[in-house]
Chains A and B, each alone.
Chain A
Amino acid sequence: MSGCVADHGCITCGDVAIPMRVVKIDERRRLALCADADGGRETVEIALVEPVSPEEWLLVHAGTALSRAPGQRPVAVPGPEAALA
Chain B
Amino acid sequence: MKFVDEFRDAELGRALAGEILAALEPGRHYKIMEVCGGHTHSIYKYGVDDLLPANVELVHGPGCPVCVIPMGRVDDGISLAHEPGVIFTCFGDMVRVPGSNQSLLDAKAQGADVRIVYSPLDALRIAKQNPDLEIVFFAIGFETTAPSTALTLRRAKAEHVGNFSVMCSHVTIVPPLRALLESPDLRLDGFIGPGHVATVVGARPFQFLPDQYGKPVAISGFEPLDLLQSVLMVLRQLADGRAEVENQYARVVPWEGNVRALEIMNEVFALRPHFEWRGLGFISQSALRLSDEYAEWDAELRFSVPGVRVADPKACQCGEVLKGVIKPWECKVFGTACTPERPIGTCMVSPEGACAAYYNYGRFAREREVA
Contact = CB atoms under 8 A, between A and B. Distances in A.
A7 B45 CA distance: 8
B196 A61 contact: yes
Nearest to A12: B91
B92 A10 contact: yes
A12 B92 contact: yes
B200 interface: yes
Main secondary structure of the interface of A (DSSP, over half): loop
Given A14-B41, A14-B352, A66-B200, A45 B148 contact: yes
A66 B92 contact: no
A54 interface: no
Nearest to B2: A71
Contacts of B365: none
Interface string B179-204: 00000000000000011110110000
B236 A77 contact: yes
A67 B194 CA distance: 15
B66 to A, nearest CB: 5
Contacts of B356: 6
B279 interface: no
Interface in A54-85: 57, 59, 61-64, 66-67, 69-75, 77-80, 82-84
Contact of B121 (A3, A45, A67, A73): A45
A59 B147 CA distance: 14
Contacts of B226: 74
Contacts of B140: 13
Contact of B229 (A6, A48, A74): A74
A17 interface: yes
B93 A4 contact: yes
A62 B236 contact: no
The 8 closest A-B pairs by CB, nearest first: A63-B119, A4-B92, A83-B15, A14-B352, A64-B148, A15-B38, A62-B148, A13-B91
Interface of A: 1, 3-17, 19, 37, 42-43, 45, 47-48, 57, 59, 61-64, 66-67, 69-75, 77-80, 82-84
17 contacts: A3-B92, A4-B91, A6-B340, A12-B92, A13-B92, A13-B94, A15-B63, A16-B352, A45-B148, A48-B258, A57-B2, A63-B118, A66-B258, A69-B252, A74-B226, A80-B232, A84-B12
Given A9-B352, A14-B64, A45-B119, 9 more contacts: A3-B118, A14-B38, A15-B144, A45-B148, A48-B260, A48-B261, A63-B119, A63-B120, A66-B200
